[in-house]
Amino acid sequence: MLAVVGVAAIMMACPVAVGARPSFPVSMPLPAGFYPEGITVGGGHDFYVGSLANGAVYKGDLRTGEGGVFASGTPGRVVVGVTFDRRSGLLWGVGFDAGGSGAFVFDGQSGEQVAEIDITGAFPSSFLNDLVVTRDAVYITDSRRDVIWSVPLDHRGRPAGPAHAIPLSGDFRLVAGTNLNGITATANGRQLIAVHSALGVLYRIDPSTGTATQIDLGEATVPTGDGIELHGHTLYVVQNFLNQVTVLSLDPQLAAGQVTEVIRSGLFRVPSTAALFGSSLYVVNARFDVALPPFLGGQPMTIDYDVVRVPR
């Protein structure tokens, strides 16, 4: 997710013979001037990307690279993190608009907005950044405050009440700049993991208490950590301005971890977030070095953006 603080040409899928299965493209273009940030994989081969420019959501096909704007944007809206809930078929986004910060919930098939949940005050006093869906709740990071936010869910995975703040305690430190950013959860939803962008550390968070315990990485750090993805005990940390994804192996208690690989690619152009699909990692090139989004003082630009695929 967005941290406020390498270039290759777009590659298209190789042609295939009639009747052969198409290759998954290495690069998938997004609309010019889209200002992408968050990405999530939906049902089948669908993927979704949110816009920092006007809160639009793009939906594409990982097999073909084709897609289009799925949910139209509105002036003044910003969608940062996005995630898809397979249980309910709902697409969740977090960000803000003229009414303040909150969560925007869309039907994953039609693109219709089915709910908007007010959460907290407007940017910059608060900055909702990323989110994760568990069985009982949606948990959201706030990069400007020492809390995470929780939205309760019913047994079908639909919003079941107002959002509430979970104050953070333990090892968490609130500093200037971007604090908690990317967030993920264990399969049972009992533990959360979040990255602190400014400090370059990872926390294990108990959502029932808000207690944050720093994960021991030895001498390693993950500065400018943005989006994160968890697969079993393997954690992927996108480090935007470093143009890399650090891969860590965590112990079963999530108490410690070690770096096993650093993924670098000439396709990376200040990546923000990533999503897992099969043996690949799909990474959004946010290009914050070229064009900051308008809400951060950047001038609107119609530069190119894309989602790129790298092996994991």
**Which among 276, 228, 284, 247 is positioned nearest to 38, based on CA atoms?**
284
> Mapping DSSP to helix (H, G, I), strand (E, B) and coil, where does residue 294 land?
helix
Look up residue 64 and give its amino acid.
Answer: T
CB distance 210 to 169 below 8 Å: yes
pLDDT digits (tens, 9 = 90+) for 15-59: 434 444 558 999 999 999 999 999 999 999 999 999 999 999 999
Q: What is the pLDDT of residue 98?
A: 85
| Separation between Cα atoms, residue 198 and residue 238, nearest integer Å | 14
User: What count of Cα atoms within 13 Å lies in the side-chain half-sphere of residue 5?
Assistant: 20
| Separation between Cα atoms, residue 100 and residue 97, nearest integer Å | 6
> Mapping DSSP to helix (H, G, I), strand (E, B) and coil, where does residue 295 land?
helix
**Which among 14, 53, 6 is positioned nearest to 30, based on CA atoms?**
53
Q: What is the pLDDT of residue 15?
A: 42
Backbone angles phi, psi at 84, to 5 degrees: -115, 135
Q: What is the pLDDT of residue 87?
A: 96
Q: What is the pLDDT of residue 9?
A: 35
Write down the pTM of the prediction.
0.92
Q: What is the pLDDT of residue 99?
A: 82
* Domains of the chain with bracketed CATH: 40-311 (2.120.10.30)
- Residue ranges of the chain whose pLDDT lies below 50: 4-20
pLDDT digits (tens, 9 = 90+) for 80-96: 999 999 999 999 999 99
CB distance 110 to 101 below 8 Å: no
Measured on CA atoms in the order 240, 242, 245, 246, is the torsion positive or negative?
negative
Measured on CA atoms in the order 78, 38, 57, 68, is the torsion positive or negative?
positive
